[in-house]
A and B are shown apart, each in its own frame.
Chain A
Amino acid sequence: MAESSFATRNLQPTTRNSESWRSFRIATWLGWQIESNWADPFLFAVYSIIKPLSGAAILVVMYGIIAQGNFSNPLFPYIYLGNAFYIYAGAMMTGVSWAVIDDREHYKTLKYMYIAPIRIPVYLLGRGVARFITGSFSVIITVLAGVLFLHLPLDVMTANWPLFFLALFIGVVMLAMMGLLIGSISLLLVHHVGFLGDAVASALYIFSGAIFPLDVLPAWLRPIGFIMPITYWLELVRRSLIGNVAQAFPTLAGFSNMELLGILLGLSLLFGVISILTFRFCDRRAREKGLIDRTTNY
Chain B
Amino acid sequence: MLTWLGAAWKRWKRWVQVSSDQLSVIGDRSAVSTHPQKVTGWRLFLKTVFARAYPRVIGQQREKSWMFFDIILPLGGVIAYVLVYKAIGAPAEYVGFVVMGGAMTAFWMNVLWSMSSQLYWEKEQGNLALYIMSPNSMMAVLLGMALGGMLATLLRAVAIVLLGSLMFQVQYAVTSFFQLLAVFVLAMAALYGMGMMTASLFLLLGREAWHLSNLAQEPIYLATGFYFPIKSLPFWVALGASIIPLTLGMDAMRQLVFPSGAKIGFLSVGVEIGVLMALCVVFLVGAKLLLAHMEKLAIREGRLTEARR
Quick one: closest A residue to B233, CB to CB?
A61
Q: What is the chain A residue whose CB lies nearest that of B59?
A: A298
Q: Which of B18-26, B214-222, B246-254, B292-300 contacts A (4 or more CB under 8 A)?
A: B214-222
Task: Given A66-B94, A211-B80, answer yes or no on A192-B63 (Cβ-Cβ < 8 Å).
Answer: yes
Whether B73 is near chain A, meaning CB under 8 Å from some CB there, is: yes
State whether B208 touches A206 (Cβ < 8 A). no
Contacts of B86 in A (CB 8 A): 212, 216
The reply to whether B125 and A51 contact each other, CB–CB distance below 8 Å, is no
The residue that B215 contacts in the complex, of A51, A57, A65, A297, with Cβ under 8 A, is A51
On whether the beta carbons of A67 and B88 are closer than 8 Å, the reply is: yes
Q: From known contacts A50-B219, A51-B219, A199-B72, infer whether A211 and B233 are also in contact, taking CB-CB under 8 Å.
A: no
A185 to chain B, nearest CB (A): 13
Complex Cα gap A65–B84 (Å): 12
Number of interface residues of B (CB under 8 A): 40
- In whole angstroms, how far apart are the Cα atoms of A61 and B225 in the complex? 10
User: Does the CB pair A58–B94 fall under 8 Å?
Assistant: no
Q: Is A202 touching B77 in the complex (CB atoms < 8 A)?
A: yes
Q: B228 interface residue, CB < 8 Å from A? A: yes
CB-nearest residue of chain B to A106 = B309
Cβ-defined contact, A205 with B84, below 8 A: no
- Pairwise interchain contact A63-B232, C-beta atoms closer than 8 A: no
B81 within 8 A of A: yes
Whole-angstrom distance between the Cβ of B186 and the nearest chain A Cβ: 26
Chain B residues with CB under 8 A of A52:
218
Q: What separation, in Å, do the CA atoms of A195 and B70 have in the docked complex?
A: 9
> Could you say which of A192, A212, A213 has the most chain B C-beta atoms within 10 Å of its C-beta?
A212
Kindly provide the distance from the CB of A244 to the nearest chain B CB, expressed in whole angstroms.
19
Taking the complex as formed, is A55 at the interface, i.e. its CB lies under 8 A from any CB of chain B? yes
User: Do B83 and A212 touch across chains, with their CB atoms under 8 A apart?
Assistant: yes
B76: which of A39, A59, A205 is its contact (CB, 8 Å)? Answer: A205
| Proximity string of chain A (277-298) to chain B, C-beta cutoff 8 Å, 1 when within and 0 when not | 0000000000000000000011
Q: How far is the CA of A66 from the CA of B208 in the complex (A)?
A: 38
- Answer whether residue A75 sits at the interface, using C-beta atoms and an 8 A cutoff: yes
A11: Cβ under 8 A from any B Cβ: no
**B87 near A213: Cβ-Cβ < 8 Å:** yes
- Give per-residue flags for A198-223: 1 if the beta carbon is below 8 A from chain B beta carbons, else 0: 11001101100001110011000000
Closest to A73 in B: B88
Are A55 and B309 in touch, CB under 8 angstroms?
no
Q: Which of B208-239 contact A (CB under 8 A)?
A: 208, 211, 214-215, 217-219, 221-222, 226-229, 232-233
Min C-beta distance of A10 to chain B, whole Å: 38
CB distance from B84 to the nearest CB of A (A): 5
Q: Decide yes or no whether A42 CB sits under 8 A from chain B.
A: no
Interface 0/1 of B85-121, CB less than 8 Å to A: 1111110001000000000000000000000000000
Interchain CB contact under 8 A, B83 and A66: no
Given known A-B contacts A58-B218, A297-B125, A38 and B207 have beta carbons under 8 A apart = yes
Q: Does B79 count as interface, using CB distance less than 8 angstroms?
A: yes
Given that A58-B227, A65-B228 are known contacts, is A202 also in contact with B76, CB under 8 Å in the complex? yes
For B217, what are the chain A residues with a Cβ–Cβ distance below 8 Å?
Answer: 51
Contact flags A53-90 to B (C-beta < 8 A → 1, else 0): 01101110111111100000001000100000000000
Interface flag for A149 (CB, 8 Å): no
Q: Which of B65, B73, B211 contacts A38 (CB 8 A)?
A: B211
Does the CB pair A202–B73 fall under 8 Å? Answer: yes
| Cα–Cα distance between A107 and B124 once the two chains are bound (Å) | 11
Q: Which residues of chain B are within 8 angstroms of A39 by Cβ–Cβ distance?
A: 208, 211
CB distance from A159 to the nearest CB of B (A): 25
B73 near A217: Cβ-Cβ < 8 Å: no
When distances are taken between beta carbons in the complex, the residues of chain B under 8 Å from A161 are none
**CB nearest neighbor in B for A210:** B80
29 A–B contacts, CB within 8 A, in A order: A38-B206, A38-B211, A47-B211, A51-B217, A51-B219, A54-B218, A54-B219, A54-B222, A55-B218, A58-B222, A61-B222, A62-B84, A62-B227, A62-B228, A64-B232, A65-B90, A65-B229, A65-B232, A66-B88, A66-B90, A107-B309, A202-B73, A202-B77, A206-B76, A212-B83, A216-B83, A216-B86, A297-B125, A298-B63
- 10 A-B pairs with least C-beta separation: A202-B76, A54-B218, A212-B87, A54-B219, A195-B69, A55-B218, A66-B90, A54-B222, A38-B208, A38-B207
